[in-house]
């Protein structure tokens, strides 16, 4: 089962990722990104990360991306216009750079792990809500609190910015 | 949590409180809070004077685990009066800004108290990193005090002030970090001990560089000639309270740093470079005084006089004897009191006539006799008249310098002559003579609030000039320890070299 | 039916790398502020996948925690970032990043 | 038995029952509202209009599938799919009863499709994704009413999801689990000798506040009156689904009712003790209820006939109900039927509440709606959470 | 030197006037003139009484009586106690200061009665008394320095008493600053004393100094003495620092009498005499003292001849007489110097007070060319002034004769040529005082005021001082001072005495001839001398030279070189230059900051690519 599920959802993720990057319309990009996130959630499940998978869907797909979508709709953002002239930077530097990055990362990953290190569903049960919660409120209590403050600040910041926007 | 922590953190609490309460009552609140802080700080005197050579109110708890940064505070005879001076001046600054500051009142007082927080912390910190933190904390409120409530060229002045100080303190930070890599701790007392016992073995050059890194940071703050050019600009542009705090307290941070850190930690380098530093100090004394003599602007004049006076402090410090060091520390306090008062008085004049040019005044004594008397006393204190505070400090510094190298005393004493010239000329041109019509029209005598603000300083001038012992003895004891430490280290190195 | 060979960890990591690079490419290619923002989210997701994979590999929960924090921070970032984008749009009536190249209006 | 096969059977069963129930929910709604408004309601197709849902379905299925020219076709089509998919997925984690042994076999299974140890999060996640359906529908329709409706709906759903989630957190804290089954099991404690420890009965009724919040948010979450601003007819025609017709419209419709049902199930599990009866010793009640209603129908169908055409249907139903009642008394079946009865009856009561409210309350204004979410629901839910947390910490 | 006597509360002597200062200074405005004068005169008189009481109680005062009141400054080895001491030298000075001080205070209540700032004046005057008494009573150099600086301050304040007048405030500043130059020397001397003796206390220092053998060359002891001399020249208006004293006459006349004639200016003499133990072992310094004294005496006398302002004449006379005292000190005749201090205090105070009376009578007129014939109009003033006249001219047997005689004898003993120069100076002194007297009181009245005699509060002190001037020579000060300064065995040569007396009489006679008999002659002589006369009349242009060579270069140099050039130009220029440099670099690197986020992103990617490549190449990052 695992390899099939992996193949399916990895495929979806990659395709959606490519679509996200190549589509001109932000709504299309957003939807593809949601696709990526959804398939990643499934992969998380395969990796034994149930809680993160749920959080991925709820937080990323359910909240953050809604926000994106909402803003896109609010601004009624249309498709990007086709560039009048193609950027030299993108052509001569960008593409090779991205390819090189991919190559390097792939190489590093390959070099770091042999192929016989495998993933088997159910081998790792440390991803339950209980385990994550334990770690979150014991080991990572301070980061958690700090993050909550950060979120509070972000909320305030967003409110302030939005208010400014109103008048 | 002891009284010292209270004195350190009350200003911070007061700062937050001031931000919370409505602007209309911030003056009263700032006054009340700062007076409370001052009264609390008076409680420090007893225990410290009982045992001035050791650290009282010591508090040593971990602050940050890795790297090993500790909240280590404590005061001895050296820092005691500086803290008291800081806490005393804050309420006075609140008073003198009562009408002077009319916009963003709340923020002004909040920054004033934040400044107090930083300054008290600087004088109390015994952990190098903590010290650095407080050192930088002071920078922020002063930046805003000058930048928001200053005069026309305030932006230029603040930027200059900020960059100068930052340049120095970054050097210091580098040195602190280097010491950490060597000693594994930021704790000043531990580091000093390690250095003394030779467990941190600095090479000759390393010691020189470390010393210079610290010293330049402090020298900028002092400021030692030729690193002083930020000072006149900052003073001229600052609001009165800013000038007072800057001159009376912040400059002392530099002097204090030299005595507290440079001497005990790097005595060899200090001794080696002493002739150079004394040379700069002497140039500062004379050049500061001579340049002050030709200033058309009162605040600039006082600022240059500060350069001159603080040259004495540095000179005394690098005389490496009891008299010189005692005089230097005493001179810090004196300068705080008398120059602070001078800035206040100049501020009073500015509030009336809205000019800092000496030309704009004349014959003020006729219309404002009380102001004239107080200004006279302050002037006399500033030029080192016996029975007023500066004399004791100057005398000890010069005596110390004479013991170290008689030529230093000769050149330094020349500065004393010049100080009489510029102060008396300013006084004459401002207060004496016939009263021009606009002065008569604008300038009124000092009012009760202003009198209350400046009276403590005048009283201190006489008190410190006549009953010097009470102030000097704790300082002397603390200095004796510092000298002994640095001497022991030098002797040990010499023995090692043999 | 013999069970298919298990999935190597490298596959997850490579997927993560691919997504990350796609995010980078998107950030470089796209001109729409919102899309660029989304590219960043994609990169974050790719990294999260790595975290979770490593967490699996090391049999420790910590990777999940990092992912969790990344999510929270991403949420905060989205809130502020989108508010900024709104303001930018309000002031310039465009979302094209090439036209938003000075801090002053 | 093979896990896969069992799952397939269960899924098929649930899907059939659920979809049918959805169709009849519509009928129930119309009927109830009609009676509230002293009307008769659908009664032409079949006895008491019982076949109305069937005809409606046929009509929608056979209607011409119209796609307006100005829409963004891909998203326009995608939206209802997302909506109905997400609505249906949620039901998969809802447990309807305890672990049972299938009669006459040795197969042990749970009543319910699956149980995840993050079960509670699944409906939340699905409702989160469900927002896209509304938003995309509104946007892709290229119609200002639709867009406004979509925006309103998504904003509203996002806003109310927050207090909803926080309200859910209260029972989670109490029962120390995210698995729905465990939550119900942990309520399976008899308190004071006569009362099952439903969440809303414990901790001085503070969870009851959470329950109320949950219910209100559920109304908003499903865009039901009084929070049905996104489809307010007098303002926005039909809101986000203005441009939808035939089966695509049916999909939205179905999604709405599926969501309602799921969320009611969730409420029952989290707050009302799931399949547990109120007090112990009520095992005879299910059968009695059905039998009594069967007898009542027989009485009305034979002795006290109200309308002529009920002559056949009422006795028929009376017999069936009596039969069901008897089924409930068969000891072998009792472990299955009794929990199911309690679960479904509670769910139905909540659904009735939905309909009741719809028939009674007027609509909010949109700013009131948002203000209500952020200004009232959110703080109150946070307060409830705090109070619960405090109590839990003190008690345990 | 333990005192055999119980505590005498010496501190009361200076503190009483300080009390007066505080009362008048703080409450003066509310007290009214009567109370102010009562407080001012009362405290000084009480102080005088206390001095008398102490001295009588301590007689014969063979040794110094020391009282300690705690520590002022303590720092390491340096310990400065607040210590007052009284010995015979101090006793003499105390009597002069408090006695004459009391008289002048009384006089001033009359003289100042119509002035603005009456209470201010007396507050200053009392403060002066405090500092002067501190100076005299001090038992260590630092405390002496306190008084030294303090009297300088009071002098400054009182010279600038008429602060609306620019010339007065200028004169005040000049006095203070010139004194500061002197103090510069004094303080350096103090530092050297501490360095070499390890103490600043008189007994300790002198004890050690006595143990030293006289320095043959220029050693540190000589340096100390010369530096002390610099201090003394400042305070006592000797060459080259005498220039402030004539200007100091801008102050009210009682001030000139008290501070700039009788007491403060003699502080230098007192200090040198006090430090005699040091000086005797530094022959070169002694020689310099003598030369300074002599040069000052002659120079000032010549200038005095040409002045027309009555107070200026007396001021130069003071300078000249102070020169005499220094001559005495330099010749080792310390007691003679002090003797002259005392007699000079009597007659010079009287001269000034008399001049004040004249000025008072003429409502502020000070130019003797506008006086004349006042003899009959203000007879009491004339008579008392005449007493001072004969005293200063050295007419036996009046006071000036005795002390001057001692000095000249000592000078003859030291270097005979000094005696002859001294005699000539004595003649000049007699001449210019006589000139002044004749022009003021004889001949016809040339002014247009209506002279009136002063009230009794002014004439009373004049009378007392007149008696003292006449009889003061018989106080036998040198003999009294014998425990402090052993008498020198110089034989009393009556020839030398006769010559000096003759010189004095000749001076008077010449003045009688020139200013009474033929008043036109002086002008012709003056025009005949031409440039020389103008030079003398303009005080040898010393002020101008000082301004030209020291003050102006210093001010201009400070302004153009130090301030605008060094400070604003080089130092600040360097700072601003650093700023400009940073700006320039920023201007270049700014070009990378296009504001286009995507280009930044590209740079970031490039950077991370490089980092990754480096990691790969170094073989790191295996997990």
Tens-digit pLDDT profile for residues E341-364 = 888 888 888 888 888 888 888 887
**Quick check: is C103 in a domain?**
no
For residue E162, the model assigns a pLDDT of 87
Residue A155 Cα, gap to closest chain D Cα (Å): 13
Integer CA distances (angstroms), A130 to A42, A138, A147, in order = 19, 12, 20
Count of domains for chain C: 1
Residue A1 Cα, gap to closest chain C Cα (Å): 8
For residue E579, the model assigns a pLDDT of 81
Note down the domain range covering B453: 3-497
Q: Tell me, what's the ipTM?
A: 0.62
Angle at B133 between CA B131 and CA B134, to 5 degrees: 65
Evaluate the CA torsion angle E571, E572, E575, E579 in order and state its sign.
negative
Which residues of chain D register pLDDT less than 50? Answer: none
- The average pLDDT across E64-78 equals 86
Integer CA distances (angstroms), B471 to B7, B321, B392, B478, in order = 20, 18, 11, 12
Residues in A closer than 8 angstroms to C11, CB to CB, are: 6, 10, 119
Query: A73 touching D, CB under 8 A?
Result: yes
pTM of structure: 0.71
Note down the domain range covering C14: 9-92
- The average pLDDT across C9-29 equals 87
Query: Between chains, do D128 and A70 touch, taking CB under 8 Å as contact?
Result: no
Query: A54 touching D, CB under 8 A?
Result: yes
Q: Which residue of chain A comes nearest to E623, CA vs CA?
A: A112
Residues in A closer than 8 angstroms to D155, CB to CB, are: 70
Residues in C closer than 8 angstroms to E595, CB to CB, are: 100-103
Query: Between chains, do A112 and E622 touch, taking CB under 8 Å as contact?
Result: yes
* Architecture of the domain made up of A1-78: Up-down Bundle (1.20)
**Quick check: is C59 in a domain?**
yes
- The average pLDDT across B418-427 equals 87
- The average pLDDT across A152-157 equals 86
Mean pLDDT of chain B: 87
For residue C1, the model assigns a pLDDT of 54
For residue E1, the model assigns a pLDDT of 42
> pLDDT tens digits, residue range E481-499?
887 887 665 667 788 888 8
Residues in D closer than 8 angstroms to A52, CB to CB, are: none
Residues in C closer than 8 angstroms to E602, CB to CB, are: 28
Tokens of B208: 């020189």
- DSSP H or E run through D72: none
**Quick check: is C2 in a domain?**
no
Residue C105 Cα, gap to closest chain A Cα (Å): 15
Q: Is residue A165's pLDDT more than 50?
A: no
Residues in E closer than 8 angstroms to A111, CB to CB, are: 622
Query: D178 touching A, CB under 8 A?
Result: yes
Count of domains for chain B: 1
- The average pLDDT across E122-126 equals 90
**Quick check: is C100 in a domain?**
no
For residue E64, the model assigns a pLDDT of 84
pLDDT confidence bin for E49, thresholds 50/70/90: very high
- DSSP H or E run through C32: none
Indicate the domain borders of chain A. 1-78, 128-167
Q: Which of E609, E615, E621 sits opposite A100 (nearest CB)?
A: E609
Determine what percent of chain D falls in helix, strand and coil, rounding each to the nearest 5. Answer: 70, 5, 25
CB atoms within 10 A of CB A56: 28
- The average pLDDT across E573-586 equals 84
CB atoms within 10 A of CB D326: 14
Cα separation, E414 vs E425, whole angstroms: 17
For residue A92, the model assigns a pLDDT of 66
**Quick check: is C105 in a domain?**
no
> pLDDT tens digits, residue range E300-323?
888 888 888 888 888 888 888 889
The three state secondary structure string of chain B is CCHHHHHHHHHHHHHHHHHHCCHHHHHHHHHHHHHHHHHHHHCCHHHHHHCCCCCEEEEEEEEECCCCEEEEEEECHHHHHHHHHHHHHHHHHHHHCCCCCCCCHHHHHHHHHHHHHHHHHHHHECEHHHHHHHHHHHHHHHHHHHHHHCCCCHHHHHHHHHHHHHHHHHHHHHHHHHHHHHHCCCEHHHHHHHHHCCCCCCCHHHHHHHHHHHHHHHHHHCCCCCCCCHHHHHHHHCCHHHHHHHHHHHHHHHHHHHHHHHHHHCHHHHHHHHHHHHHHHHHHHHHHHHHHHCCCEHHHHHHHHHHHHHHHHHHHHCCCCHHHHHHHHHHHHHHHHHHHHHHHHHHHHHHHHCCCEHHHCCCHHHHCHHHHHHHHHHHHHHCCCCCCHHHHHHHHHHHHHHHHCHHHHHHHHHHHHHHHHHHHHHHHHHHCCCCCHHHHHHCCCCCHHHHHHHHHHHHHHHHHHHCHHHHHHHHHHHHHHHHHHHHHHHHHHHHHHC
Residue A46 Cα, gap to closest chain C Cα (Å): 10
Mean pLDDT of chain E: 85
> pLDDT tens digits, residue range B182-219?
888 888 888 888 888 778 777 888 888 999 999 999 99
Bridge partners, B71 (sequence order): B61
**Quick check: is C61 in a domain?**
yes
For residue D82, the model assigns a pLDDT of 85
Q: Is residue A166's pLDDT more than 70?
A: no
Angle at B242 between CA B237 and CA B243, to 5 degrees: 70
For residue C96, the model assigns a pLDDT of 79
Residue C71 Cα, gap to closest chain E Cα (Å): 22
Tokens of E164: 């609306």
Q: Is residue B438's pLDDT more than 80?
A: yes
The whole-angstrom distance between residue E244's C-alpha and the CA centroid of its chain comes to: 9
Cα separation, D127 vs A62, whole angstroms: 8
**Quick check: is C104 in a domain?**
no
For residue E623, the model assigns a pLDDT of 44
For residue E553, the model assigns a pLDDT of 82
Lowest-confidence pick of C56-60, D328-332, E124-128: D328-332
In chain A, residues 63-122 whose CB comes closer than 8 Å to chain C:
63-65, 67-68, 71-72, 74-75, 77, 80-81, 83, 90, 94, 98, 101-102, 105-106, 109-110, 112-113, 115-120
Closest CA to B471 of B7, B84, B122: B84
- DSSP H or E run through E79: strand E78-86
For residue E3, the model assigns a pLDDT of 45
- The average pLDDT across C57-86 equals 87
**Contact status, residue A79 vs residue A24, Cβ threshold 8 Å:** yes
Cα separation, B436 vs E222, whole angstroms: 52
Residues in A closer than 8 angstroms to C27, CB to CB, are: none
């Amino acid at each position: 089962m695992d390899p099939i599920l992996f193949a399916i959802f990895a495929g979806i993720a990659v395709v959606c990722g490519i679509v996200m990057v190549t589509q001109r319309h932000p709504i299309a990009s957003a939807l593809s990104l949601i696709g990526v996130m959804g398939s990643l959630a499934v992969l998380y499940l395969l990796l034994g990360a149930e809680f993160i998978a749920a959080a991925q869907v709820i937080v990323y797909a359910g909240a953050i991306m809604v926000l994106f979508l909402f803003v896109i709709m609010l601004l009624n953002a249309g498709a990007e216009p086709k560039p009048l002239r193609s950027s030299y930077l993108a052509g001569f530097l960008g593409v090779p750079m991205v390819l090189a990055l991919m190559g390097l990362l792939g190489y590093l990953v390959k070099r770091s792990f042999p192929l016989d290190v495998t993933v088997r569903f159910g081998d790792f049960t440390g991803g339950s809500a209980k385990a994550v919660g334990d770690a979150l409120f014991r080991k990572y209590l301070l980061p958690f609190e700090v993050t909550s403050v950060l979120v509070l600040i972000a909320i305030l910041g967003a409110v302030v910015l939005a208010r400014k926007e109103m008048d | 949590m002891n009284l010292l922590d209270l004195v350190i953190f009350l200003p911070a609490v007061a700062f937050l409180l001031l931000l919370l309460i409505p602007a209309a009552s911030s003056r009263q609140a700032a006054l009340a809070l700062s007076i409370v802080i001052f009264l609390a700080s008076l409680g420090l005197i007893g225990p410290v004077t009982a045992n001035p050579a050791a650290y009282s109110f010591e508090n040593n708890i971990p602050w940050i685990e890795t790297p090993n940064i500790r909240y280590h505070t404590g005061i001895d005879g050296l820092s005691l009066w500086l803290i008291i001076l800081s806490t005393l001046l804050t309420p006075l600054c609140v008073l003198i800004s009562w009408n002077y500051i009319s916009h963003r009142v709340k923020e002004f007082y909040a920054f004033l108290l934040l400044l107090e927080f930083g300054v008290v912390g600087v004088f109390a910190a015994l952990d190098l990193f903590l010290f650095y933190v407080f050192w930088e904390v002071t920078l922020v409120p002063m930046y805003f005090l000058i930048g928001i409530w200053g005069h026309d060229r305030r932006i230029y002045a603040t930027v200059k002030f900020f960059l100068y100080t930052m340049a120095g303190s970054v050097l210091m930070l580098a040195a602190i970090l280097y010491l950490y890599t060597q000693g594994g701790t930021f704790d000043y007392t531990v580091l000093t001990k390690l250095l003394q016992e030779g467990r941190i073995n600095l090479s000759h050059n390393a010691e020189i560089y470390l010393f210079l890194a610290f010293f330049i940071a402090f020298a900028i703050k002092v400021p030692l000639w030729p690193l002083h050019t930020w000072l006149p600009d900052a003073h001229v542009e600052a609001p009165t309270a800013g000038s007072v705090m800057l001159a009376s307290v912040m400059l002392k941070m530099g002097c204090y740093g030299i005595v507290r850190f440079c001497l005990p930690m790097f005595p060899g380098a200090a001794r080696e470079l002493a002739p150079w530093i004394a040379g700069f100090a002497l140039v500062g004394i004379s050049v500061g005084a001579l340049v002050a003599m030709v200033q058309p602007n009162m605040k600039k004049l006082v600022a240059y006089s500060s350069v001159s006076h603080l040259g004495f402090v540095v000179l005394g410090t690098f005389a490496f004897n009891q008299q010189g060091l005692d005089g230097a520390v005493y001179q810090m306090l004196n300068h705080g009191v008398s120059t602070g008062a001078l800035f206040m008085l100049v501020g009073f004049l500015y509030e009336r006539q809205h000019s800092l040019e000496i030309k704009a005044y004349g014959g003020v004594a006729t219309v404002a006799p009380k102001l004239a008397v107080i200004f006279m006393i302050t002037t006399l204190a500033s030029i080192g008249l016996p029975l007023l505070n500066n004399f004791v400090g100057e005398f000890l510094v010069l005596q110390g310098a004479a013991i170290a190298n008689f030529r230093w005393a000769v050149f330094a004493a020349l500065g004393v002559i010049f100080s009489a010239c510029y102060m008396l000329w300013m006084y004459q041109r401002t207060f004496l003579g016939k009263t021009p019509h606009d002065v008569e029209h604008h300038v009124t005598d000092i009012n009760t609030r202003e009198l209350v603000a400046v009276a403590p300083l005048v009283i201190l001038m006489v008190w410190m000039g006549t009953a010097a012992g009470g102030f000097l003895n704790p300082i002397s004891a603390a200095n004796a320890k510092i000298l002994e430490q640095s001497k022991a280290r030098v002797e040990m190195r010499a023995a090692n070299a043999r | 039916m013999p069970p298919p060979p298990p999935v190597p960890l490298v596959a997850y990591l490579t997927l993560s790398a691919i997504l990350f690079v796609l995010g980078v490419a998107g950030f470089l290619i796209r001109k729409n502020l919102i899309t660029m923002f989304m590219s960043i989210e994609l990169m974050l997701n790719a990294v999260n996948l790595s975290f979770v994979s490593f967490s699996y590999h090391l049999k420790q929960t910590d990777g999940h925690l990092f992912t969790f924090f990344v999510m929270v921070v991403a949420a905060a970032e989205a809130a502020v970032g989108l508010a900024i984008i709104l303001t930018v749009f309000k002031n310039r009536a465009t979302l094209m990043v090439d036209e938003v190249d000075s801090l002053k209006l | 038995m093979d896990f896969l096969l069992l799952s397939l059977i269960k899924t098929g069963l649930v899907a059939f029952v659920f979809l049918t129930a959805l169709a009849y929910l519509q009928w129930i709604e119309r009927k109830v509202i009609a009676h509230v408004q002293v009307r008769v309601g659908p009664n032409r197709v079949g006895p008491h209009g019982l076949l109305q849902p069937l005809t409606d379905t046929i009509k929608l299925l056979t209607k011409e599938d119209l796609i307006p020219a100005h829409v963004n076709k891909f998203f326009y089509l995608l939206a209802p799919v997302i909506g109905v998919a997400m609505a249906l997925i949620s039901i998969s984690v809802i447990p309807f009863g305890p672990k049972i042994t299938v009669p006459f076999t040795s197969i042990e299974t749970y009543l319910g499709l699956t149980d995840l140890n993050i079960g509670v999060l699944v409906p939340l996640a699905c409702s989160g994704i469900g927002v896209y359906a509304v938003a995309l529908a509104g946007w892709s329709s290229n119609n200002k009413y639709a867009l406004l409706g979509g925006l309103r709906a998504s904003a509203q759903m996002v806003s109310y999801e927050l207090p909803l989630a926080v309200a859910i957190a209260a029972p989670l804290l109490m029962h120390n689990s995210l698995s729905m089954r465990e939550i119900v099991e942990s309520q399976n404690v008899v308190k004071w000798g006569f009362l099952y420890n439903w969440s809303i009965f414990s901790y001085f009724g503070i969870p009851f506040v959470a329950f109320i919040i949950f219910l209100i948010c559920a109304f908003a979450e499903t865009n039901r009156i009084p929070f049905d601003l996104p489809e307010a007819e007098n303002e926005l025609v039909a809101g986000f689904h203005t441009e939808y017709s035939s089966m695509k419209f049916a999909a939205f419709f179905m999604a709405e009712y599926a969501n309602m049902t799921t969320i009611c199930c969730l409420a029952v599990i989290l707050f009302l003790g799931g399949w547990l009866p109120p007090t112990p010793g009520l095992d005879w009640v299910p059968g009695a209820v059905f039998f009594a209603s069967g007898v009542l129908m027989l009485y009305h169908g034979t002795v006290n006939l109200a309308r002529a055409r009920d002559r056949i249907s009422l006795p028929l139903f009376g017999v069936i109900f009596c039969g069901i009642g008897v089924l409930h008394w068969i000891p072998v079946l009792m472990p299955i039927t009794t929990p199911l009865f309690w679960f479904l009856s509670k769910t139905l009561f909540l659904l009735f509440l939905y309909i009741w409210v719809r028939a009674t309350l007027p609509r909010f204004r949109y700013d009131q709606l948002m203000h209500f979410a952020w200004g009232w629901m959110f703080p109150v839910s946070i307060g409830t959470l705090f109070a619960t947390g405090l109590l839990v910490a003190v008690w345990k | 030197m333990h005192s055999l006597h119980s505590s005498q509360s010496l501190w009361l002597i200076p503190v009483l006037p300080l009390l007066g200062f505080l009362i008048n200074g703080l409450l003066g405005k509310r007290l009214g003139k009567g109370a102010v004068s009562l407080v001012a005169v009362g405290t000084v008189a009480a102080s005088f009484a206390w001095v008398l009481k102490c001295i009588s109680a301590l007689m014969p005062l063979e040794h110094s009586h020391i009282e300690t009141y705690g520590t002022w400054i303590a720092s390491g080895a340096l310990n400065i106690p607040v210590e007052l001491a009284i010995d015979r030298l101090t006793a003499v000075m105390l009597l002069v200061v408090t006695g004459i001080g009391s008289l002048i205070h009384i006089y001033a209540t009359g003289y100042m009665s119509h002035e603005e700032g009456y209470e201010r004046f007396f507050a200053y005057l009392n403060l002066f008394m405090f500092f002067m008494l501190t100076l005299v009573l001090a038992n260590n150099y630092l405390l002496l320095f306190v008084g030294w600086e303090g009297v300088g301050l009071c002098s400054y304040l009182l010279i600038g008493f008429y602060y609306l007048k620019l010339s007065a405030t200028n004169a005040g500043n000049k006095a203070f600053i010139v004194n500061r130059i002197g103090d510069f020397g004094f303080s350096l001397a103090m530092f050297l004393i501490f360095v070499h003796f390890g103490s600043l206390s008189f007994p300790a220092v002198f004890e050690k100094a006595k143990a030293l053998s006289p320095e043959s060359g220029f050693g540190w002891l000589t340096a100390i003495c010369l530096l002390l001399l610099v201090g003394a020249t400042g305070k006592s208006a000797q060459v080259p620092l005498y220039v402030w004293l004539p200007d100091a006459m801008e102050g009210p006349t009682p001030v000139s009498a008290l501070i700039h004639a009788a007491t403060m200016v003699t502080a230098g003499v007192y200090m040198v005499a006090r430090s005699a133990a040091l000086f005797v072992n530094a022959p070169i310094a002694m020689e310099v003292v003598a030369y300074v004294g002599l040069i000052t005496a002659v120079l000032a006398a010549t200038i005095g001849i040409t002045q027309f302002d009555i107070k200026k004449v007396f001021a130069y006379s003071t300078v000249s007489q102070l020169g005499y005292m220094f001559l005495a000190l330099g010749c080792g005749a310390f007691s003679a110097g002090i003797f002259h201090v005392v007699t000079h205090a009597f007659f010079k105070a009287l001269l000034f007070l008399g001049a004040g009376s004249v000025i008072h009578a003429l409502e502020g007129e000070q130019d003797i060319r506008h006086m004349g014939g006042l003899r009959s109009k203000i007879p009491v003033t004339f008579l008392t002034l005449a007493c001072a006249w004969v005293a200063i001219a050295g007419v036996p047997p009046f006071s000036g004769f005795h002390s001057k005689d001692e000095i000249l004898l000592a000078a003859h003993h030291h270097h005979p040529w000094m005696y002859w120069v001294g005699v000539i100076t004595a003649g000049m002194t007699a001449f210019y005082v006589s000139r002044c007297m004749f022009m003021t009181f004889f001949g016809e009245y040339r002014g247009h005021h209506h002279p009136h005699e002063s009230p009794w509060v002014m004439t009373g002190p004049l009378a007392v001082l007149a008696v003292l001037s006449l009889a003061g020579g018989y106080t036998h000060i040198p003999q009294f001072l014998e425990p402090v300064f052993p008498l020198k065995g110089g034989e009393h040569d009556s020839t030398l005495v006769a010559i000096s007396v003759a010189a004095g009489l000749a001076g008077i006679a010449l003045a009688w001839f020139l200013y009474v008999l033929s008043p036109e002659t002086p002008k012709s002589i003056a025009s005949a001398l031409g440039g020389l006369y103008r030079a003398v009349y303009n005080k040898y242009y010393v002020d101008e030279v000082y301004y030209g060579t020291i003050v102006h270069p210093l001010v201009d140099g400070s302004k153009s070189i130090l301030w605008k050039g060094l400070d604003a130009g080089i130092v600040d220029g360097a700072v601003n230059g650093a700023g400009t440099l940073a700006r320039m670099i920023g201007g270049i690197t700014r070009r990378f900051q296009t504001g286009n986020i995507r280009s930044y992103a590209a740079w970031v990617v490039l950077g991370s690519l490089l980092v990754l490549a480096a990691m790969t190449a170094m073989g790191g990052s295996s997990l």
